Amino acid sequence: MDHVARIQAEWRAERPDVDTAPQGVIGRLHRIANHLTAELTVLYAEYGLSEGEFDVLAALRRAGAPYERAPGELALHTMVTTGAVTKRVDRLLDAGLVERRRSTADGRGRVIRLTPAGRRLIDKAFTAHMANEQRLLGVLTPAETAQLEILLTAWLTRIETSSAG
């Protein structure tokens, strides 16, 4: 019996009138998410990065050459506020991993661009990150991983679709 099952059993004993079945899924997802976050952030730290800084560098690298995005785009591609992006970018600027410059499309706007050092770092960190994620999924069979991805994709799509409307 795992931690969540014990909690459900205690609730069933105390409140048999309440269906605790959802707790079986949500509770386990919450515990898995906490475990995954801890495992992922350890790897980011090996590269001198926080989770948010890794996210910004990855968003810039995914943009393709010349590896730059406007701050608003970074917020969209990292799913955080522009204020949070600014703090992350400031730290990355200080580390020489990104640079801020005027946009060629709009002289008033600014863009954030990976420096060569930033590109080398995110390429190394991303390779290690993917190996780490593979390791974390290694406790599942390939068929289980594929099935889990299908289920999570369907669930997330429905949640995001219903909250967008």
Q: What is the pLDDT of residues 118-143, one digit of tens each?
A: 999 999 999 999 999 999 999 999 99
- Take residue 112 and report the two structure tokens written for it: 């954030």
pTM confidence score:
0.87
The yes-or-no verdict on residue 165 having pLDDT over 70 is: no
CATH 1.10.3720.10 corresponds to the domain 22-139? no
Within a 10 A sphere around the Cβ of 85, how many other Cβ atoms?
24
pLDDT of 106 reads: 67
Q: Would you report the helix, strand and coil content of the chain in percent, each value rounded to 5?
A: 70, 5, 20
Cis, peptide link before residue 66, omega less than 30° from 0: yes
- Rounded Cα gap, residues 159 and 144, in angstroms: 22
Parallel/antiparallel/unpaired status of strands 110-114 and 68-69:
antiparallel
The yes-or-no verdict on residue 7 having pLDDT over 80 is: yes
pLDDT of 107 reads: 63
The yes-or-no verdict on residue 148 having pLDDT over 70 is: yes
Q: What is the pLDDT of residues 67-101, one digit of tens each?
A: 999 988 998 888 778 888 889 999 999 999 999 98
- Rounded Cα gap, residues 16 and 19, in angstroms: 7
Q: Which residues contact 92 (CB under 8 A, 6 or more apart)?
A: 53, 56, 57, 98, 118
pLDDT, mean over the chain: 93
Q: What is the pLDDT of residues 14-58, one digit of tens each?
A: 999 999 999 999 999 999 999 999 999 999 999 999 999 999 999
Backbone dihedral angles phi then psi of residue 19, each to the nearest 5 degrees:
-75, 115
